[in-house]
Amino acid sequence: MSIMLALLVLILVFFLAFLIARKSNISGTKFMLLGLSLILVGGIIAVDGNSDLGGFEYLIVFIGLIFSVIGFGKEN
């Protein structure tokens, strides 16, 4: 059940990030940097032994990956 919820959240985030990228004036480079920042934060949380977020840290990493891919594909 939690896998289905995580998949739904990833699809929703992908759709919203794609809409934000299309409608806003934010450059692709800034969008990619936002994605890389999210990847780094999620990775640091995942490596930290004292944090137990129940897999949410990996969701943060995947959201950062989605933002980076959308930023890479954005034209300006």
* pLDDT, position 52: 78
Task: Return the domain boundaries, the chain.
Answer: 2-73
Nearest Cα to 60, choosing from 73, 41, 33? 41
Residue pair 65/41 in contact (Cβ under 8 Å)? The answer is no
Neighbours of 59 (CB within 10 A): 17
Residue 43 contacts residue 61 (beta carbons within 8 Å)? yes
- Grade residue 1 by pLDDT with cuts at 50, 70 and 90: low
Q: What is the pLDDT of residues 31-76, one digit of tens each?
A: 899 889 999 998 888 888 888 777 788 888 988 998 898 888 877 6
Alpha-carbon span 76 to 29, nearest angstrom:
9
Alpha-carbon distance 4 to 24, whole Å? 30
